[in-house]
Homo-oligomer: A and B are copies of this chain.
Amino acid sequence: MDKTDPNSDVVKPIRDDLMSGAAELALRAITIFQAVLNGPAAASAPALKEKITETARALIDAQPAMAPIFHLSNTVLFAINKSTTVEAIKQDCQAALDKFEKTLCESASAIADEVFDLIPAGELIFAYSFSSTVVSALLNARAKGRYFRVACTEARPSMEGRKLASRLASGGIEVIHTFDNAMGLILPNCSTAFMGCDCVGRPGVVNKVGSWVLAVACRELGIPLYALSGTEKIVNDDRLFEFEKHERPPEEVWDFTTKGVRVLNHQFDLVPFNLLSGLVTERGILKEPDIEQYVSKLEVHEALKLQPATF
């Protein structure tokens, strides 16, 4: 998809959002689908279907690592597959959006309850990057009377770790904050670590870049690391590696470079299951062998199937 296509402007806020976690982005994508349902394309059923399909593809293309955006889009396209009138499309699409939003919220709440038991009272715990699932789990534990402190780092270059720090502090949790490379100084004082995730597949968990280094450091120090994720983030292997496509402009890292210096700005990395203590989902704590049963049930709408690479 041509990113300069004016029709794709509708997803620009999603493409430019480097501060939100996967679940938050999916909630924002829901409002974009709603806008399409009420936009000019609703003049005829074929035009509306076409526009919804195009929006689905553009949203996925805007944030290829964010599994909930893929699943939301996939769910929407299946929901309107057999709808033949404008009214039916609107109704079926809205029902799918509502159901997806409900699932996201219920997952976050179930995960929060499970995380409560993983937070040792009185300890310092580590949390990486920004994840609304992690935030809601920690605030929920605090609200239920568990006392603990949280250490977190910036998550360069977009610094969404600062958003995490601020959000937790406003919720009454004491936060210790430092830069990413100082992880090794603060982790030895932490008893458990948590991260969100953007996408889960058989090879592991995709999340903000730096998660892999965190995971290796946690294993070296004997600190359990849990990834929190609704099962709506589980995808097929080919979709999982879409995160590798997501390169951001180098200027976001360094806006004044010398000739001969190439600046890389990749946003995600993959943490294999052997570096994780578990994936905390709304259906319990999953391990590597549990993922297969979810992957095998996945159905991908024809319009969203990835083309095999051609050489």
Q: A residues touching B (Cβ–Cβ < 8 Å)? A: 153-157, 162, 165-166, 168-170, 172-186, 208-210, 212-213, 216-217, 220, 253-254, 257-266, 269
Contact across chains for A209 and B180 when beta carbons are under 8 A apart: no
- A244 smallest CB distance to B (angstroms): 9
A177/B216 contact (C-beta < 8 A), A182-B266, A185-B264, A264-B185 known: no
What's the least CB distance linking A128 to chain B, in Å?
A: 9
- Report Cα–Cα, A53/B252, bound state, in Å: 47
**Complexed CA–CA distance, A259 and B217 (Å):** 29
- Asked if A178 contacts B264 (CB within 8 A), the reply is yes
**Contact of A260 with B173 in the complex, beta carbons under 8 Å:** yes
Whether A258 pairs with B165 at a CB distance below 8 angstroms is yes
Q: Is the CB of A165 within 8 A of B261?
A: yes
Residues of the B chain whose Cβ atoms lie less than 8 Å from the Cβ of A162: 254
Instruction: Enumerate 7 A-B pairs (CB-CB under 8 Å) in ascending A order.
Output: A153-B181, A165-B257, A172-B260, A176-B264, A178-B253, A179-B265, A182-B264
Instruction: Flag if B213 contacts A183 (CB, 8 Å).
Output: yes
Distance of A266 from chain B, by nearest CB (Å): 5
Closest Cβ neighbor of A176 among chain B residues: B262
User: Considering the chains assembled together, what is the distance between the CA atoms of A151 and B118 in angstroms?
Assistant: 38
